[in-house]
Amino acid sequence: MMGIEPAVILMQVVRLAVPYTLTSVGATFSERGGVVNLALEGMILIGAFGAAFGQYQTGSAMIGISLALLCGLCVALIFAFITVTLKADQIVAGIAMNIFIMGATRFGLSLLFGSSMNSERIAGIEVPFLFLDPFFCLAVISVVAGQLLLFKTPYGLRLRATGESAQTADSAGINVNRMRYSGVLISGALAALAGAFLVFQQHTFTDNMSAGRGYIALAAMIIGKWTPAGAALASIMFAATESLEIWLQTGLIPSQLVQSLPYIITLFVLAGFVGRASAPRDAGIPFEKNRKSE
């Protein structure tokens, strides 16, 4: 790392933090409403695939982003239907969605691009500076707007009430299912944007390119104590870890150990934070209108 400019490292950390930030802010909305969205990994992946396919077919980055959002919202709607309407176990449903999307995108690669590993190259979005990148701007906006929306608006109050006690919220006239659907849909849209950012940065879609970012975003949300601002700060920490992993790939340390570094640090940080962080009380619990509060 000798001779590396601090500004270069800083820009790399900020760039790596963008998908974590978008996804972790989305996860905050979902879990504040009472739904543990373990399907974020798949939502990132389907967003990336949609963006790659959309831009490859039309040459338009905007169409790519629009298709990414559409794909992310569709997956989020399915996940919400399974977990909120059908009241399936949220953890099992999330894992199942991730496995399904991983297989579906791999099949889509083979069908549309003739390869099970990667798509054709796309142009992405070329900007002279990272701070002019629309995804960076969206990440910043998502944090500021998310913080205000959750803690300064009636919608945020209703969403938080739904996650804390769905029965009490229902008694107050709040439509619990509608609030939970909204939280999941917001998380799906932001995760899909994170996927679009990844594919535009790499200029190609590769199989399983989400690479665990959805799970790390969930960890960032927990460390950030279920707030958009806290999740963003934790995302920067994980981005710094990923940046360190890149710079350590010098051959002096076994590559397997270097590649596992972000996950090792995630486990250690979670072990120290989870016990001191309080999740929304009804997160992960299906809402049943006639169930008595415990």
223-269 per-position pLDDT tens digit: 999 999 999 999 998 898 888 777 766 556 666 666 677 677 777 77
- The per-residue pLDDT for 116 is 80
Burial (CB count within 10 angstroms: exposed 0-12, middle 13-18, buried 19+), residue 118: middle
* Tokens linked to 165: 């006690």
Tell me the CA distances in angstroms from 60 to 125, 153, 175, 189, 260, one per residue in order. Answer: 10, 36, 39, 19, 36
Residues 6+ apart with CB under 8 A from 48: 68, 195, 196, 198, 199, 205, 209, 210
Q: SS3 for 23?
A: helix
DSSP bridge partners of 116: none
* Tokens linked to 117: 């590993």
User: Is there a contact between 173 and 153 (Cβ–Cβ < 8 Å)?
Assistant: no
Helix 154-164 to helix 134-152 angle, to the nearest 10 degrees?
Answer: 70
Q: SS3 for 206?
A: strand
Quick one: average pLDDT of 196-217?
Answer: 94
Q: SS3 for 118?
A: strand
76 pLDDT exceeds 90? yes
- The per-residue pLDDT for 250 is 58
Q: SS3 for 285?
A: coil
Percent of the chain predicted with pLDDT > 70: 89
Quick one: average pLDDT of 174-188?
Answer: 97
More confident call, 207 vs 271: 207
Quick one: average pLDDT of 202-206?
Answer: 95
- The per-residue pLDDT for 33 is 97
Angle, vertex CA 132, rays to CA 18 and CA 16, nearest 5: 20
291 pLDDT exceeds 60? no
3 pLDDT exceeds 60? no
Quick one: average pLDDT of 183-189?
Answer: 98
Residues 6+ apart with CB under 8 A from 42: 75, 97, 98, 100, 101, 102, 210, 214
Quick one: average pLDDT of 148-175?
Answer: 96
What number of helices (H) and strands (E) belong to the chain?
12, 0
